[in-house]
Amino acid sequence: MLHTKDTYIVTMRKDGKIALGECNLFKGLSYDDRPDYEDKLQEICRRIPEEGENLLSELSNWPSIRFGMEMMLLDWQNDCKQEIFPQVIGDEGFSIPINGLIWMGPHDYMMEQVTTKLSEGYTSIKLKVGAIDFQSELELIRYIRREFSADEVEIRLDANGAFTPTEAKEKLDRLAKYDIHYMEQPIRAGQWQETARLVEDSPIKIALDEELIGINTANRQRELIETIRPAILILKPALLGGFKACDDWTALLEDIGGYRIITSALESNIGLNAIAQYAALTASPHAYGLGTGMLYSNNFPSPYHVDAQGLHYRRDQTWDFSSLT
């Protein structure tokens, strides 16, 4: 359980303008969570004004730093307006669909979240499973299906690797009758052969998330995709190395007929803004996982708001970066 989360904001300033990037280090999960992280970040900050984009290729083993620097450079190139991909922003802004996320916790707490999201009108619900007993989790899912058909509400599940290889297939079989959109990371990352067998045998589509972390070379990425052949990839730019890295994963997945879902990883609104604009570059029938910014009590005030219809950027609203000065 997290009560606080440290975030590194990198800036480039010139003539009163400021370009921003977020290096979203996720303790205990990021590949670059190591003791010399701040030393590396200071080094890159010294070098980036002169070396620019050429420096990004050196950062495959520092995915969160690469993400932040790529974001900052794009902001700089686009006149420091926090319009990272300005082509997606219309006269009034833009909107993209998102799923409603149900956080792990006791049964009553999860049920309360489910009923709230459904009453608000969400049509895609993602539940974290594996934290409470399986029967209680089935009860939550049965409740949704009693109230709404699969055509009305999509159910996504994320086990975060909580199932063992021996029990995963039986649980997937029991879940299948509830018309689940996908099961994300059913077993712990690193078990490629076991995951490949699940993908082949499962009645529910398998999505990979943590499995991708630390797979930073083109050959190894292709090997993973060709071995497991997942239906879906959950792409988190901060954990994979930015937008170019996500593009590389997407190309490999599309070669085998799969599709991606762009998702945030507890970014502040600065990082969320960049990810949302990146997601909006490509039309998709699938909701994104971009609603986590509401968790923070001290987030940067932004032009974004979230409701059951999606994540909305309003051009007539402004940013407030006074806390950075």
pLDDT tens digit sequence for 298-313: 899 999 999 999 999 9
The top-level CATH class assigned to 8-81 is alpha beta
What's the chain's average pLDDT?
Answer: 94
The answer to whether residue 292 scores a pLDDT higher than 70 is: no
Residues 6 or more apart in contact with residue 126 via CB below 8 angstroms: 99, 100, 101, 102, 155, 156, 157, 158, 289
Active site residues: 128, 236
Relative to beta strand 100-102, strand 154-158 is unpaired
With bands split at pLDDT 50, 70 and 90, how would you rate the model's confidence at 297? confident
pLDDT digit string, tens, across residues 270-281: 999 999 999 999
Mean per-residue pLDDT, 178-204: 97
CB 289 within 8 A of CB 234: yes
pTM: 0.95
Are 8-81 and 87-324 the same fold in CATH? no
**Highest CATH level, class, for 87-324:** alpha beta
Give pLDDT, residue 323: 87
Average pLDDT over residues 48-72: 96
Contact (CB, 8 A) for 71 and 277: no
Integer Cα distance of 58 and 65 in angstroms: 11
What are the C-alpha distances in Å from 217 to residues 221, 243, 248?
A: 6, 15, 10
**What would the mean pLDDT of 316-325 be, rounded to a whole number?**
88
Q: What is the mean pLDDT of residues 169-183?
A: 96
- Domain spans of the chain, in order of start: 8-81, 87-324
- 42-56, 154-168, 288-302: which has the minimum mean pLDDT? 288-302
Distance, in Å, from the CA atom of 99 to the CA atom of 175, rounded to the nearest integer, reads 19
